Every structure is written in C-alpha cells, then in structure tokens.
Structure 1
Amino acid sequence: MILFTDHRTICATCGTQYPSDVALPELCPICDDERQYIGDNGQTWTSLATLAKDRAIRFSQVSDRLYDLRITPAFAIGQRAFLILSESGNVLWDCLPFLDEPTIAFIRSLGGLKAIAISHPHYYSLMAEWARVFECPVYIHQSDAVWVQNHTSAIAFWSGERKSLWDGMEIINTGGHFPGSCVLLQPDSSGQTNLLTGDTIYVARSRRLVTFMYSYPNLIPLPKKAIEQIRDRMAGVSFDRIYGAFEGMVIAENGRSVFDASVQRYLSIFE
C-alpha cells in the first residue's frame, strides 16, 4: 500500500527521497555534487501526494522478457527503469521517483520483484518505497554507499567487480561516472544478450556510438584512466543490444562492436 502523505521529502530536481523523520538538508547532496546541479529555482522539495495528482507510470514492452517504465509527465531526471522478467524471479533495473497502485498491481500480475538493482546514485530515487512494497532487496555497490540518503534494511551492498544474480543475469561494476557505477547483463529468449547501462555507458543520439562522462549535464569528461578501467572491466563480456537510461537510447544490434569502437575513439583523443 502506498502512503500518499504530503511529507515533502523528494528532491524535485533529482527525485531522491529523504526520510521523513529527520531534518532535510539545505541542499540535496546528490544535486549539489558537480555531476548534477541545483535546479534553476533553487532547492525545492515535493511529495508522493503531490506527484500522485497528475503522474502515472507508463509501461512499454521491449521484448517478451523486458519492459521499460517511465513517469508521465516526466519528472526530475526523467530516466526510465526496466522490469526484467525471469523464471527465478523478476528484477527492476534502476528505479523511479514515483510509485502508484496501478504499477504495483501490474508488476505483481507478472510475478512481483525478487530484487532491485541500481546503476548509480542518480537513480536511487524512491528505492526504499519500492523495496518496502515489493519486499525485496536493493543491490547497490559498496563504493557508492556514501550517497544513500534514505537508509533501509532492504539495501544489500555488494563489493568486487561482478555480482551474479540468477538465470544468467549479472551486474558488472565498471566505475567511471561514479566509483560504484554498474551495468547489467540480461540474456533474452531470442538467444541474444542485452546490456542495461543506466548512463554509465551512454548511448549517443546517433545510436552509432556510446560515450562515457563524469558529468553529463555539466559536460565533464572522464579521464583516460577511467575509460581504460571501463574497457578492462568489460573485457570478454559478450552482448548484442544496449539499452540506456532514456527513451530512444537503444543500440539494437552489434552492441559489443559499437562499445569497442567507441572506447577506441575516446582513447584516441589522448594520443
């Protein structure tokens, strides 16, 4: 059951929810970091009750085992999350800063959630509420623990470079955008493998390249060492399609070749 209270604990710029029983910070630390920004109107807060007046979550079926979820009208950063259907338990990849009863009913009709896995702190959003409703853990890399604002016992921090889930799914810590930034591998029923990237590996508008940034809104690139780490962490990983964090960000084929060419092009800048 969603508690549509008027506690204004959600940052209106990034969508991160803060606990209602402690004083809010003067500025959202996630937005005050140089990878994000404080909104044009300064620090503002909203609530689930306010958002529920005119927001909903739209589902689009990408394949027989994959749905993308987006808030409409768009709110905060505007990212999408992905619902991965799997025989041993469904996974939500990344999270949204809103949740309502129709969404809960729809996900439960497909088997609920066994886990939530999140690519990086910009998408922590309403993870505590989602985890409470679906009674599942939230997998976050230990390197990004400092960015958690709404602590919950549902958070399962993990460390190292890889975390195996089930049915062939695997989370890979690439670093880069944040030290704990991750991507997720998902085999689909066609025999191909999807790479869900958040914005750790960012699908360019042409869909013929991916790029890698320290800050996307502030246009701060990653240094050579960080790109080499991403390359090395992805060594030997096979994937066909790439799904990024925003609508239209899909590389539908030859994803591994696009990734390799993009890394080479990026590193050539430093030569």
Structure 2
Amino acid sequence: MTSYSSSPSPSLSFLICTTCGTQYPTTDRTSLTTCFICDDPRQYVPSVPGGRPTFTTLEALQRDPSVKNEFHPLSLPSCGNDDRFVSVVTTPKFGIGQRAVLVRTTTGSGKRVNILWDCLSYIDDETIETLRRRWGGLHAVVISHPHYYSSHLEWADRFDCPVYLAAEDERWLARRDDGKQVFLREVETSIVVDGENTGVKVIKLGGHFPGSLVLLYDGRLLTADTVMMTPSGRSNWTVDALGRPRERPKGVNTFSFMWSIPNMIPLSADELVRMWQIIKDYDYKSAHGPFLGWDIEGEDLKARMLESMQIQVRAMGYAQHPFLQLSL
C-alpha cells in the first residue's frame, strides 16, 4: 500500500493556516493572503508584525521529525483510565492546540465502532497506522464547530468515513466534499454506523457558533468550546490546607459560555437560557473540554452547569432575570 507521506495527492500541498489550522484547497500562496476563519471576531490574528497570516502544508509538517500525534487515554480519579476515550494531540502544539478524542463505542450486537470527536490538522502514516492497528480505524468524525474543521477531509479520505457537521455552520467550510460531509439539522442526532446505533448522541447547543455541538456517550459530555471549563471548575476543592474534607466555595463557577474565547466576549443571557432549555434534558457524570487535562467529573455537574449559567447572567447585570430562579 502506498504510504500517505509518499502519496501523489495534491492535498498534501494544500495550504494550512498556522494560527487556526484550517486547510484550504489551494497550493497558490499568492491567491491566499488571509484566513477567513482568523478574520472572524471569534478568532484572532497572528501575533506577528502587522498581523500577517502565515501558512504551511501537510507535506512540510510531515517532513519535520519533531511533529507527531500522541495518544492519551482518559484518566480520572474515580475510575483510573477509561480507554474508551483517547485524546489525540499534536506535539509540538500546532494551530489552536485542541485535542481530538477517539470515542470507542460498542453497538448492541457487540460491534466496536470508533468515532473521532473534533479533528486535528496534522495526520501522517504513524497516526493512521496506530488508529488502524490498535483500535480498528475510524468509522465517523464529528466536529464541534468551525475552528476545529482543520483538515477533516484528509481524515475522512484516509479512513473512508463521513464527517458530521452542523448545517448552520456550513458557510465556514474552506473545503467541500458532498460525499463525505454530512450536515446535521436536528437538535439531537444519534450516530448510526452500518445500521447500528453507537450510543453516541450529538447535541446542538449553539452559542459559540449557531451550530456548536457537544457529544454525549455513556454519561461523558464532550464539550469542545461550546461549554468551556473554567480554572475554578477544574480545581480540586475536596480538602483544605490541613487535608480535611471541604466543600467547593459558594459562587464559584465551573463553566463559562463564550461567543469568543480568545477575545473574551461572553454569550448573552437570552442565549444561555436557550442553551439551558436543551442541555437540561441530558444527564452526565463528567465533562471534557477542548484541551488535554480539561476534564471535570461529579454527580452534581448538571447543577453546576445551571449554576455557572446563572453566575454569568448575574455578572452581566441581570440581577432580576427570571432564569436566576430556576433550580434542578
């Protein structure tokens, strides 16, 4: 079999934005003078003189011996390793630096089905071989929002699998392939592979982007940027300075809800209310954000989701908003 790195495919030379990792269907550097993803107010321009965008290619990245993808099984205090959820990260950090998560499911018939949550720009022979040999490849890719569209068609082509995207965010695609891209139009979508339900639910919350998604499987909520873990949310509040049990301080949030994360623009109160009306119908015991180590667990996470939304609404000056009266 011809290796990926030696493949004559022109996509290896397609330009990739070094700031956000979006791959464009062109090799002509004179025709691509800016990145429309980075020009959007939700993203940001590179910190170089004049904000000049820069581009690379998969071909160039694959030639760099320091660049690789690493695999990290989920590890939580309550259960140790849960290798049904495996973070995939590119090192050294490239673009935004997000993780993709390999979700290893089992259908009712016992078939193992692998779904990649979010995507990375970098893919090479070693990544492909590891996923195929160790876990049986990929059967589907689901991407939370346009900032992580990256080079998803490279992954779809190599694993011959569909990519699920929110229909509301179709305008943010730099590359298109009607045979691979599946646009989700419902609030909830159950991922089905070869006629079998995988148990994976994709939920459209919106907010950050109109179609921003989260993924729920076996009580674990994968949120990407749709729901962000705060530093206080990721902190350990279980013991005090003397090692005695303690409770989380009152009024400390767990999550934040942002229209723009890097530019620190929050979502409106009305948008949070709309998102809550969707997410309140689901139960989860852990939540997992866009970066390695951004994992929170607890039986009270739904209550903390509501509490965090209410803290944000109150902090924006809506002290009398009816939403503040809600409780579980």
What TM-score does the superposition give when structure 2 sets the normalisation length?
0.78
Q: Any idea what SS the aligned residue of 2:101 has?
A: strand
Could you tell me how far 1:137 is from its partner in structure 2?
0.3
1:126 aligns with 2:133: no
Contact kept? 2:14, 2:27, Cα under 8 Å? no
RMSD in angstroms over aligned alpha carbons?
Answer: 1.6
Match of 1:29 in 2: 36
2:207 alignment partner in structure 1: 176
CA drift at 1:34: 0.2
1:240 to 280, 285, 310: 285
Q: State whether residues 18 and 24 of structure 1, in contact with CA within 8 Å, keep that contact through their aligned partners in structure 2.
A: no
**Distance in 2 between residues matched to 1:137 and 1:101, nearest whole Å:** 20
Per-residue displacement from partner, 1:84-120 (whole Å, max 9, x unpaired)? Answer: 1112411000000100111111111212111000000
After superposition, the C-alpha distances for 1:210-252 in whole angstroms (9 at most, x for unaligned) are 1000001111111111111111111210001000001221112
In 1: Cα distance, 2:5 partner to 2:36 partner: 25
Misfit runs of 4+, over 3 Å: 3-6, 21-25
TM-superposed deviation, 1:3:
4.3
In the alignment, the residues of structure 1 paired with residue 303 and residue 139 of structure 2 have an alpha-carbon distance, to the nearest angstrom, of 32
Based on CA coordinates, which of the two structures has the bigger radius of gyration? 2
Tell whether the 8 Å contact from 2:15 to 2:27 is kept in structure 1 after alignment.
no
Q: Which amino acid aligns with 1:49?
A: E
Size of the alignment, in residue pairs? Answer: 266
Residue pair 2:19, 2:95 contacting (<8 A) in 1 also: yes
CA contact under 8 A between 1:9 and 1:24: conserved in structure 2? no
- Is 2:4 the counterpart of 1:2? yes
Q: Does 1:265 align with 2:311?
A: yes
Aligned residue in 2 for 1:158 = 184
1:210 matched to 2:259? The reply is no
Report if the CA contact (8 A) 1:116-1:136 is conserved: yes
Structure 2: how far apart are the matches of 1:176 and 1:195?
17
Give 1:112's aligned residue: 137
Q: Partner residue of 2:101?
A: 82
Is 1:60 matched up with 2:72? yes
Q: 2:29 aligned with 1:18, yes or no?
A: no
Identity across matched positions, percent: 38
Q: Distance in 1 between matches of 2:169 and 2:84?
A: 29
Corresponding residue number in structure 1 for 2:60: 50
1:57–1:72 contact (8 Å) kept in structure 2:
yes
Q: Is the Cα contact below 8 Å between 1:239 and 1:256 reproduced in 2?
A: yes
User: Residue 11 of structure 1 contacts residue 45 of structure 1 at CA under 8 Å; is this kept in 2?
Assistant: yes
**8 Å CA contact retained: 1:163, 1:171:** yes
Cα distance in 2 for partners of 1:216, 1:28 equals 18
1:49-85 CA distances to partner (integer Å, 9 max, x unpaired)? 2212121001011113110010000011000010011
